[in-house]
Amino acid sequence: MKTLEQRLSEIKIVPVIAINDVAHALPLAKVLVENGLPCAEVTFRTEAAAESIRIMRDAYPELLIGAGTVLTTEQVDIAMDAGVDFIVSPGFNPTTVKYCQQRNIQIVPGVNNPSLVEQAMEMGLRTLKFFPAEPSGGVGMLKALTAVYPVSFMPTGGVSPSNVEEYLAIKAVVACGGTWMVPTDMMDKGDWEGIAALVRELN
């Protein structure tokens, strides 16, 4: 059984997706799996998130699915009931972290400075989200953090085709989160072939 870190390091790019319509969940999952990116971080910023995750999980059991923008313990419950593999939060909330640990699901919380990294390590966490990556100092800040702390990072926030390789070149980066390969406006138009082309560019 591969760890979450191993699976993320194989995938390298995690599409961060805001799904507005549950009808988009199945074709989106199909595009991701068939074009070599079997992973999705579905953000809880939309009403369709939980049901979309459930549909994707049922159709593609092999898909690595995270719930993103999880802010409360209630959302952890909803995400787990829908079938997620891991939880992602934009910030470091000890209450949410403890709850995920109690429920035995891995959480990748957001941090962007030394103090937060140390608080996360104190709670036993070793894989963290560097967020928002670019506004927080980007590659330079991340290199400074990885020089000091024995943890892995998933940078998200401002990561794009122009800088993703710089982030991935940092040894402690297991994967990068990004939105560019699954634009919400293309999903809303049903442009699945266009999204497929963007996903294929990552391979």
> What are the beta bridge partners of residue 14?
177
Find the catalytic residue in 2, 30, 41, 118: 41
Q: Which of 129, 165, 171, 189 is catalytic?
A: 129
Mark whether 2 is an active-site residue.
no
Is 129 annotated as catalytic?
yes
Residues 6+ apart with CB under 8 A from 11: 37, 38, 39, 64, 175
The rounded distance, in Å, linking the Cα atoms of 30 and 197 is 13
Could you give the CA distance from residue 98 to residue 40 in angstroms, rounded to a whole number? 24
Cis amide prior to 90 (ω within 30 degrees):
no
CA 8 – CA 44 distance, rounded (Å): 20
SS3 label, residue 42: strand
- Cβ atoms 88, 68 nearer than 8 A: yes
Q: Distance between CA atoms of 170 and 110, rounded to whole angstroms?
A: 18
- Distance from first CA to last CA of the chain, Å, rounded? 24
Q: Which residues are catalytic?
A: 41, 129
